[in-house]
Structure 1
């Protein structure tokens, strides 16, 4: 416990130092220092690490809002990338940064929001918050949880983290392997419900929002969408517009700072690229420019999940770094997905590769090979598209299972 508390303080100090020259760290510190808590008579508390976990847990959040309209909902984020984008979500009555995990902060925060239950998505295990919830007999649920043998819970030195698991009321897990790992530690309060992301992306694919100007840019041509890309991805992808001049390309980079956007544009053939923020400027004269415009660079956050509705093939970024981003948003529209080599931590990526509906590449030659096949072999493309669409549909239903369990608890 002593080492954990010291580690929390050292982590805060490191972020504080970084805040002087890093914008994200600055938001992390400033947001926590400036926020004022509102007191609630009771609430349902949802915590998300960042934006991806918010979207993952959103089906539960929406179901709770619909099922219990009179209940206040409090949402917390650990990361600015979640908080800054969803701080005004109408799904919550209050949105906060999660205060640092100390005994006093845990006690004061829980006293302010008075949760009837707490729902954490996928991961984020904070000892003092979990202990305080347990002390007050407040149910704590982990949804879309996933565990791997290499995690600290399963190490000889992971005693404190195993104690955290003991504070959880019920685990709703993504897969059977996670259940077996928890069972091995003696935890039987587990249900394999699947991943709520499938419900989220499936709902989005059934009614995607229209993105102004994209249909005009596409101009009835085939469209390749590169989502959540990093520079390592973009160096490979930049060769495609030259190789496939009959196709259109949309690049939606993970980071949209001016320097990052300009670096991406400089990789692409001159005179063929337009930023989304500038699309309106050429909208009135888009028809005369359409033959020259082959690439559209998205310089905002929030539209990627709907952009996939316009595409035929998707590339998902991050696979040359820490790991790939969300493949399911594209898969729900039946788009074959391509990604880099670092995908093993992601169940859906492994399963898509096994189905031959997802494809991992390590270099430009492999990228060109799979793109060539998808473009030129219509039968292969059609079969792949159907496989990936069915895969998403068949994995929906986690939200219903979780809500049925929680409804029983709420009625007690």
Structure 2
């Protein structure tokens, strides 16, 4: 089965390269560093012990923060290598760690590329974040006696059904992990049902609850908000195609009650910045882009955040946060950043990528469900009219986060127990 998978991957390479080209047209960073995607990476000194952490993109990179901090304290003589798959993930690594860790792209799941990567980097052990299950990567690490950990692992019922179609390949791959640290007991049960060794799957909690936002974000937010004056502000963060129209329609309805309302519109992907700004202007809103560097006066109705790495700051400026990717069947995004800042959160019905977290927040009253532009508008009007309700939701959100912390320490203890230093 693995041989068939590898053959199909080779045959699909032309399509994969075409996809890189297509993505490069929208985001030029995809044109760069192609050799790394085939394992041609800078070699690291064999005398330097390496801990390798793979985080596919921005969300996973953010989740590594408490883990990296714990690894550096527990293994001070080791160098940390972080791999990603996307340019936005790469940029986030550079911004978070400013040269304190090494970075390169993870190669495609081709045996020759993986071997070349492992030979150059020679990690002592590896930690794969979330559920990045690549059969050749796992097998090559097993052959090279490099222990692998699957950390912060989640597995929805839908994904489990997909893996079940290739049950033998999946079971073999899962058995090759040193251990699996699943987010929840439901995830733990699904990994065991797919063939992972029963005793090697642990429910450790979700690393994303270990959120720690820099104090500078709040300080910058206060300075920005003071320039805007006393006006209501809401943010629609990480929006996707088809969501901006819903958000803009809702904002128009809210403005009937709050004429000085400011909407912060934050598209998920940089290649969509131009389109989001164009949609806002076409809808008749006085629109400013953050990258223009101009003051956001009271006449501005929509501020498009088209810069990278500033989302926490703008979460801190808002009164209410709407999480994108949830109004369409994309699966939603992480609501923990605005929650950690004590902001009430709105989410659409499609949050299956963060099902457990979002349900906890909905059930506790820290978040509210909205299905369309009408519900967004009505809920926004209610919340903007009621400061006490906003404050109560914010405090409940902070409490939810505090009660769910501790996953990073449990993960580190498992690493120390299962992985012996060379």
When normalised by structure 1's length, the TM-score is: 0.88
Q: Which ranges of structure 1 fall in alignment gaps of 5 or more residues?
A: none
- Cα shift at 1:274: 2.1
2:315 is paired with a residue whose SS is: helix
Larger deviation, residues 86-95 vs 6-15: 86-95
For residue 302 of structure 2, what is the aligned residue in structure 1? 295
Taking the TM superposition and a 5 Å limit, the aligned residue runs for 1:42-191 are: 42-87=49-94, 89-90=97-98, 92-152=100-160, 155-184=164-193, 185=195, 186-191=197-202
CA separation of 1:10 and 1:330: change in aligned 2, threshold 3 A: farther
For residue 334 of structure 1, what is the aligned residue in structure 2? 342
Check if 1:363 corresponds to 2:365.
no
For residue 415 of structure 2, what is the aligned residue in structure 1? 406
1:338 is paired with a residue whose SS is: strand
- Cα shift at 1:327: 0.9
CA distance in 1, matches of 2:173, 2:402: 34
CA distance in 1, matches of 2:94, 2:298: 40
CA distance in 1, matches of 2:360, 2:282: 33
Decide whether the 8 Å contact of 1:230 with 1:254 is kept in 2: yes
Match of residue 248, structure 1, among 256, 262, 266: 262
- Cα shift at 1:150: 2.7
CA distance in 1, matches of 2:33, 2:111: 20
CA distance in 1, matches of 2:30, 2:7: 19
Taking the TM superposition and a 5 Å limit, the aligned residue runs for 1:226-245 are: 226-239=236-249, 240=251, 242-243=255-256, 244-245=258-259
When normalised by structure 2's length, the TM-score is: 0.86
CA separation of 1:22 and 1:409: change in aligned 2, threshold 3 A: closer
Decide whether the 8 Å contact of 2:343 with 2:390 is kept in 1: no
- Cα shift at 1:29: 6.6
Superimposed CA distance per residue, residues 358-405 of structure 1 (whole angstroms, 9 cap, x where no aligned partner): 222221221122112212244433332221121112111111211222
- Cα shift at 1:154: 5.1
Paired positions, count: 402
CA distance in 1, matches of 2:282, 2:75: 50
Decide whether the 8 Å contact of 2:53 with 2:126 is kept in 1: yes
CA separation of 1:190 and 1:82: change in aligned 2, threshold 3 A: same
For residue 194 of structure 1, what is the aligned residue in structure 2? 205
Taking the TM superposition and a 5 Å limit, the aligned residue runs for 1:11-26 are: 11-23=12-24
CA separation of 1:20 and 1:308: change in aligned 2, threshold 3 A: closer
Superimposed CA distance per residue, residues 336-365 of structure 1 (whole angstroms, 9 cap, x where no aligned partner): 111222113422112222223222222122
CA separation of 1:14 and 1:342: change in aligned 2, threshold 3 A: same
1:131 is paired with a residue whose SS is: helix
